[in-house]
Structure 1
Amino acid sequence: MVKVMVMHELLNKIANYYIEKYFKWLINSEFQENTIAVFELLECRQKMLYTRSTPYTIINTIINPSSLIGILVHEGLDTILKHINKSSIFSKKVIIDNAEYTINGWPDYYDGEKIIEFKVSTIPIKEPDSRHVMQVRLYMWLTNCREGYLTYITPRKILTYRIENPATDDEVKELLKNWPSPRDSNECMQCMFRNVCTYAVEKKREEVEKQQST
């Protein structure tokens, strides 16, 4: 029982720290309908709506083992690089059909010249995920950076890919105008809202794992 209580307290501290640092705006509903975070834009639109209406569900995504590993690695890197890392929340606006949208993003690392986004994976990486590439390109667009890198940290390797081109205004507008639910069917397998979502795509776990390993 003591071990369980100690671990529960530790997980609470990690979750509270991470929420305070990155998701306070979400928990406190400090957002506007047309203000979109980069990570939201690259996920299922319906998931974004569910999360915004029930913000405390974000805790469930933080305290699972794979997320915890990612959090600890990111925070360790942030601490080590804090003296040279100039990253903060960056914003840009786009206009679509006379409606103004604000895109916000917080890169893992930015020194005024380049962006580096770190990803932690427990499985081997054969090629960069297209959404991770777009995430870096969006951060490059937000910061007017011409140099971006996507770095995967796995148990056996550290792989870095150079990303050449920032996203364009037209690409950002296209992401907003054509924002599907889900963006791909693999999202649904890992989504906490899949049992209540009318957009959920049923897919056998074996099929998803096979796709991820190829």
Structure 2
Amino acid sequence: MITEFILKRKLEDYLSHVRDENTIYVTDLVRCPRKIKYENQYKELSITQVYEPSAILGDLLHIGLETLLKNNFNADAEVEAERNIQVLGKTYKIKGKADVLIKNENDKKIVIEIKSSRSDKGLPHIHHKIQLQIYLWLFSAEKGILVYITPDRITEYEVNDPLDEATIIRYAEDIITLRNAPKFNWECKYCVFSAICPSKLS
């Protein structure tokens, strides 16, 4: 009963997400451009990722910590924002959803990004830091906090340097032109599309 409910809810959330043609999501900017293309092209393969227990665990952890922060700070959860940029002569919308947005006593915004991980090695991960830097740009915020929860550690890292727009445009160009695929060497190891991808790294 519970398992069925969780899996059904996860699938419904996935299927309800419709990608706009000229919208680039913050999470897209920090991952392999080919994977973004294949998720749209091979939806059947994409759906298999929905049922990964580690992904479901991460979702449940997000819900719990977001609720805790919302109830104890001047905070909102799942806050959306968007900004337009010009890429290769065309207007694109950069869209993202911060896990938690806190306003401090000086009415300054603090973006909280929650991450779960199987291991605490190599924290903070560079792609997580870049993601938070993009959120700082997107929300015009000066401070961000990466919160990690792993089986061995609960810790946080402060990030105070928003990514500049020129770098964000360059990342968007990667997606449009399929340049720099994969973006990180480890991505192919966890990618469901690696069996069909010409850019796969061994």
TM-score bracket for this pair, using the shorter chain length: 0.7 to 0.9
User: 1:72, CA displacement in angstroms?
Assistant: 1.3
1:109 maps to 2:100: yes
- Any conservation in 2 of the 1:87–1:106 contact (CA below 8 Å)? yes
Q: Distance in 1 between matches of 2:96 and 2:85?
A: 14
**Bigger mean CA offset, 84-93 vs 192-201:** 84-93
Deviations 1:76-133 (A, max 9, x none): 1233334531542211111123211111111111124100111111212343111100
In structure 1, the partner of 2:26 is 38
| Count, aligned residues | 190
Q: What TM-score, normalized to structure 1?
A: 0.80
With over 3 angstroms needed to count, the CA separation of the structure-2 counterparts of 1:163 and 1:62, relative to structure 1, is same
RMSD: 2.1
Output aligned runs, 1:86-125, within 5 Å.
Answer: 86-112=77-103, 113-125=109-121
In structure 2, the partner of 1:24 is 16
In structure 2, the partner of 1:153 is 149
Q: Distance in 1 between matches of 2:196 and 2:173?
A: 25
Give the number of the structure with larger relative contact order, counting CA–CA contacts within 8 Å between residues 6 or more apart: 2
- Any conservation in 1 of the 2:67–2:77 contact (CA below 8 Å)? no
Q: Distance in 2 between matches of 1:91 and 1:182?
A: 25
Q: Distance in 1 between matches of 2:33 and 2:122?
A: 28
In structure 2, the partner of 1:194 is 194
User: 1:65, CA displacement in angstroms?
Assistant: 2.5
- Any conservation in 2 of the 1:15–1:59 contact (CA below 8 Å)? no
In structure 2, the partner of 1:185 is 185
- In the alignment, structure 1 segments of 5+ residues that lack a partner are 1-5, 203-214
- Any conservation in 2 of the 1:188–1:201 contact (CA below 8 Å)? yes
| SS of the residue 1:85 aligns to | strand
1:168 maps to 2:164: yes
Q: Distance in 2 between matches of 1:190 and 1:85?
A: 32
- In the alignment, structure 2 segments of 5+ residues that lack a partner are 104-108
Which of residues 6, 9, 13 in structure 1 aligns to 2:5? 13
In structure 2, the partner of 1:54 is 42
